[in-house]
């Protein structure tokens, strides 16, 4: 039984970090790593979800807004190019998601924001996704003597599979409670030895 | 049959363990971790400067600045009836030699007035080599620390060279770095040895913990018989001995140091600075936060009661500055100084003497997101605050606090 509890606890504590390629969900923030630099990644679908923020995958089709906020000030002095390429499959969920593919980069992008400097530290990308599909995003930052590329696959119009994030912890907790209750129901009550005269 | 009480107790323990283990690591510290409304509507710091960012052990650094207690203080935060000016540094890299608020010594705690402005000065002496991000800090009783702007400072040299000498009222010169250290170690060792001996003695006197509990249950009313007459005598000797040592040490210390002053038990009242608005009045008409653009846009109704035209040069909140370079210029002091050098724009131009005018202001920068101020839109009342700096033609500054509710928009 304790192995089961340990496994559940490990599941609980392993929710700190996940992501697709360059985009990582760290704690409660979605971050995009480009070489040594870090940006905050925020996805919005205001027509469907008001102010809810998404981390890479967009659950529905329609008007979508991606905002990149530069955490490292140096990025404000560099050009940023954002391009999205159509893909045939969803993110693998492995390290391969982040591997830059030159053949992909050579393709005509689905849409692109040409390289430009963003002195306010915020890059806003608006796009209307009319049909669901899988995509690969590329963010290319270029300074005087440096250039870094980040790749992140994402999907549009595919609701998240499996157990919703908000229910994972309550369900895990429920199972822990049930297992503990069953364990106690199986045990006989402890009886102390009677005092011998 | 299930022992309900025991089952509930263990369930509570398991639940506590789950919660404790689930606690994710903190992804931020200091200035970013506090709630946005707390940082924008409590203590607003400005003009914070350090005299140097690189110094050697034993050299002094002076931090100066001003702070304003925001007029629209959050209801759930304790008011600054008891507060202490401090400096936040990771580790004892500096010692504080003196601090002043409006020229009055800040050695004691202080009560402050909401809606008032004060200036401060803290003198620090470098103690050990390190590179630290140091903040001005105000500890408010029952509210916690309210953090000011941070600066990276590097201390070089050798800690063994550090001295912190002071002259007492009786003319004795002592080094506070080592003063009383041997005595403190002596007493810690003395009580530690006694405590360890007492603990070890009882560990080897029959069953302990669960076996002892079971034995007590088994013996019932006769459980006290487990303690022998010798152990009772020993316990009495330890009790009396401890009390004698404590009482003797207290009187001995009092004899050696007859006059002691518990500094932080005192409280002084310090008058505020004159009104920094200098005759400029600004009222919030409306405000919205443009989510994708990371921009706060607000309309101000400004009345200029001064003798010179005024224009907006800066908006500051939560230690972040949005500058209008056409009026006032500032550059980040270091890599972690959040200054939006071209972040403020406004429509309406100068406000002439005696004129009342509407000004449309926008403050744009990624800092709204990266410094977690945008979280404000998830608050029940989404109220923000800050200071607007107006400048007249001679560069004289008027500082006006503004605030109110804002609406998040996407278009």
**Distance from C-alpha of B22 to C-alpha of A8, rounded to nearest angstrom:** 11
B69 Cβ contact list (under 8 Å, min separation 6):
B42, B43, B80, B112, B113, B114, B115, B116, B117
A–B: how many Cβ contacts below 8 A? 106
State the pLDDT at residue B27. 40
Note whether B370 and B382 are within 8 A (CB).
Answer: no
**Distance from C-alpha of B143 to C-alpha of B121, rounded to nearest angstrom:** 23
Mutating which of A28, A38, A122 best tests the B interface, going by the most B Cβ atoms within 10 A?
Answer: A122
| Cβ–Cβ gap B370/A70 under 8 Å | yes
* Distances B358 to B284, B296, B391, B393, B405 between C-alpha atoms, Å: 10, 16, 17, 20, 18
| Cβ–Cβ gap A195/B220 under 8 Å | yes
Tokens of B50: 């350090």
* Chain A residues 45-74 with a CB less than 8 Å from chain B: 46, 51, 65, 67, 69-71, 73
| Cβ–Cβ gap B370/A121 under 8 Å | yes
Mutating which of B33, B290, B366 best tests the A interface, going by the most A Cβ atoms within 10 A?
Answer: B366
Closest Cα in chain B to A188: B1
Q: Are strands B144-156 and B54-56 parallel, antiparallel or unpaired?
A: parallel
**Distance from C-alpha of B253 to C-alpha of B259, rounded to nearest angstrom:** 11
- A27 vs B15, B24, B378: nearest CB: B24
- A192 vs B21, B218, B332: nearest CB: B218
- b/e burial code for range A63-92 (CB count within 10 A of at least 16 → b): ebbbbbbbbbbebbebebbbbbbebeebbe
Mutating which of A73, A75, A119, A193 best tests the B interface, going by the most B Cβ atoms within 10 A?
Answer: A73
- B21 vs A12, A51, A119: nearest CB: A12
| Chain A residues within an 8 Å CB radius of B219 | 195
State the pLDDT at residue B245. 97
Tokens of A186: 């199986």
* Chain A residues 111-130 with a CB less than 8 Å from chain B: 119-122, 124, 126
Per-residue pLDDT of chain B in tens (411 residues, 90 and over written 9): 446 666 667 777 777 776 666 554 444 455 788 899 999 999 999 999 999 999 999 999 999 999 999 999 999 999 999 999 999 998 899 999 999 999 999 988 999 999 999 999 999 999 999 999 999 999 999 999 999 999 999 999 999 999 999 998 888 899 999 999 999 999 999 999 999 999 999 999 888 889 999 999 999 999 998 999 999 999 999 999 999 999 999 999 999 888 887 766 788 889 999 999 899 999 999 999 999 999 999 999 999 999 999 999 999 999 999 999 999 999 999 988 999 999 999 999 999 999 999 999 999 999 999 999 988 888 888 999 999 999 999 999 999 999 999 999 987
| Chain A residues within an 8 Å CB radius of B26 | 27
State the pLDDT at residue B28. 41
* Distances B290 to A51, B96, B298, B379, B406 between C-alpha atoms, Å: 11, 43, 11, 16, 10
B319 Cβ contact list (under 8 Å, min separation 6):
B31, B39, B45, B147, B148, B149, B150, B338
| Cβ–Cβ gap B21/A42 under 8 Å | no
State the pLDDT at residue A190. 56
State the pLDDT at residue A49. 62
Spans of chain A below 70 pLDDT:
1-21, 27, 49-51, 160, 165, 187-197
pTM: 0.80
Burial class (CB in 10 A: 0-12, 13-18, 19+), A115: middle
Closest Cα in chain B to A6: B18
Closest Cα in chain A to B342: A120
> Domain A18-164's class?
mainly beta
Listed as own residue / partner, the contacts of A168-172 with beta carbons closer than 8 Å and 24 or more positions apart are A168/A11, A168/A15, A169/A12, A169/B22, A172/A8, A172/A11, A172/A12
| Chain B residues within an 8 Å CB radius of A51 | 291, 377-378, 408, 410
| Cβ–Cβ gap B292/A40 under 8 Å | no
Mutating which of A4, A16, A184, A193 best tests the B interface, going by the most B Cβ atoms within 10 A?
Answer: A184
| Chain B residues within an 8 Å CB radius of A117 | none
Q: Would you list the DSSP string of chain A?
A: -HHHHHHHHHHHHT-SEEEETTEEEETTEEEEEETTEEEEEEEE-HHHHTT--BSS-BSSSEEEEEEEEESSGGGGGSEEEEEEEEESS---SSGGGG---HHHHHSPPSEEEEEEE-TTSEEEEEEEE-S-EEEEEEEEEE-SS-EEEEEEEEEES-PPPSS-HHHHHHHHHHHHHHHHHHHHHHSPPP-PPPPP-
* Chain A residues 2-31 with a CB less than 8 Å from chain B: 5, 9, 12-13, 15-16, 26-29
User: In terms of Cα–Cα distance, which of B46, B81, B77 is closest to B64?
Assistant: B46
**Distance from C-alpha of B409 to C-alpha of B411, rounded to nearest angstrom:** 6
- B18 vs A69, A121, A173: nearest CB: A173
State the pLDDT at residue B63. 97
Beta-bridged to residue B172, according to DSSP, are none
| Cβ–Cβ gap B366/A193 under 8 Å | no
At residue B291, what are phi and psi to the nearest 5 degrees? -60, -55
Average pLDDT over all residues of chain A = 81
Tokens of A192: 């102390």
| Cβ–Cβ gap A69/B370 under 8 Å | yes
By the CB < 8 Å criterion, does A103 face chain B?
A: no
The pLDDT tens digits of the residues spanning A31-79 come to: 899 999 999 999 888 887 655 777 878 888 888 999 999 999 999 999 9
| Cβ–Cβ gap B291/A44 under 8 Å | yes
Question: How far is the alpha carbon of A95 from chain B, nearest alpha carbon, in Å?
Answer: 23
């Amino acid at each position: 039984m304790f192995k089961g509890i340990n496994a559940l606890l490990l599941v609980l504590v392993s929710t700190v970090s996940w992501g697709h390629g360059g985009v990582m969900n760290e704690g409660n923030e979605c971050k995009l790593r480009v070489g040594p630099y870090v940006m905050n990644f925020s996805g919005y679908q205001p027509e469907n979800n008001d102010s809810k923020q998404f981390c890479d995958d967009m659950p529905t089709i329609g008007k979508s807004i991606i905002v990149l906020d530069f955490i490292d000030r140096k990025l404000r002095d560099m050009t940023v190019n954002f391009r999205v390429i159509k893909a045939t499959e969803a993110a693998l969920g492995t390290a391969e998601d982040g591997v830059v593919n030159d053949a992909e980069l050579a393709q005509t992008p689905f849409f692109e924001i040409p390289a430009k400097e963003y002195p306010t530290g915020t890059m806003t990308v608006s796009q209307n996704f009319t049909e669901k599909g899988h995509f690969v995003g590329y963010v290319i930052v270029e300074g005087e003597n440096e250039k870094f590329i980040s790749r992140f696959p994402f999907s549009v119009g595919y609701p998240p599979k499996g157990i919703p994030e908000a229910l994972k912890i309550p369900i895990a907790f429920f199972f822990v409670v049930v297992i503990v209750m069953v364990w106690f129901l199986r045990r006989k009550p402890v009886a102390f030895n009677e005092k011998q005269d | 049959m299930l022992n309900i009480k025991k089952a509930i107790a263990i369930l509570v323990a398991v639940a506590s363990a789950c919660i404790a283990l689930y606690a994710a690591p903190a992804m931020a510290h200091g200035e970013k971790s506090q709630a946005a409304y707390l940082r924008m509507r409590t203590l607003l710091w400005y003009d914070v400067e350090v005299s140097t960012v690189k110094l050697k052990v034993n050299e002094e650094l002076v931090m100066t600045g001003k702070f304003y207690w925001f007029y629209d203080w959050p209801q759930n935060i304790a008011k600054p009836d008891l507060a202490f000016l401090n400096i936040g540094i990771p580790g004892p890299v500096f010692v504080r030699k003196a601090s002043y608020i409006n020229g009055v010594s800040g050695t004691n705690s202080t009560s402050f007035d909401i809606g008032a402005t004060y200036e401060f000065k803290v003198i620090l002496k470098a103690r050990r080599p390190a590179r630290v991000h140091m903040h001005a800090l105000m500890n408010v009783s029952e509210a916690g620390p309210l953090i000011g702007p941070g600066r990276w400072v590097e201390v070089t040299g050798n800690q063994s060279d550090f001295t912190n000498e002071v002259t007492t009222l009786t003319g004795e010169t002592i080094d506070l770095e080592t003063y009383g250290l041997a005595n403190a170690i002596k007493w810690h060792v003395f009580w530690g040895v006694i405590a360890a001996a007492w603990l070890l003695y009882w560990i080897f006197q029959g069953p302990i913990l669960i076996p002892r509990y079971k034995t007590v249950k088994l013996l019932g009313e006769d459980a006290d018989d487990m303690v022998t007459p010798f152990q009772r005598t020993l316990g009495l000797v330890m009790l009396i001995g401890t009390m004698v040592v404590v009482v003797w040490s207290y009187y001995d210390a009092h004899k050696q140091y007859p006059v002691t002053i518990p500094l932080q038990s005192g409280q002084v009242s310090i008058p505020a600075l004159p009104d920094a608005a200098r005759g400029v009045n600004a009222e919030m008409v409306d405000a919205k936060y443009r989510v994708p653009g990371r921009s706060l846009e607000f309309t101000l109704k400004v009345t200029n009661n001064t003798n010179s035209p005024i224009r907006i040069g800066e908006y500051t909140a939560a230690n972040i500055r949005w500058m209008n370079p056409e009026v006032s210029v500032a550059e980040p002091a270091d890599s972690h100084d959040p200054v939006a050098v071209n972040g403020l724009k406004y429509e309406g131009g100068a406000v002439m003497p005696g004129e009342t005018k509407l000004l449309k202001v926008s403050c744009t920068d990624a800092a709204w997101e990266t410094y977690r101020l945008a979280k404000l839109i998830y608050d029940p009342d989404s109220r923000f605050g800050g200071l607007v700096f107006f400048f007249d033609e001679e560069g004289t500054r008027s500082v006006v606090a503004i605030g109110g509710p804002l609406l998040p928009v996407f278009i």
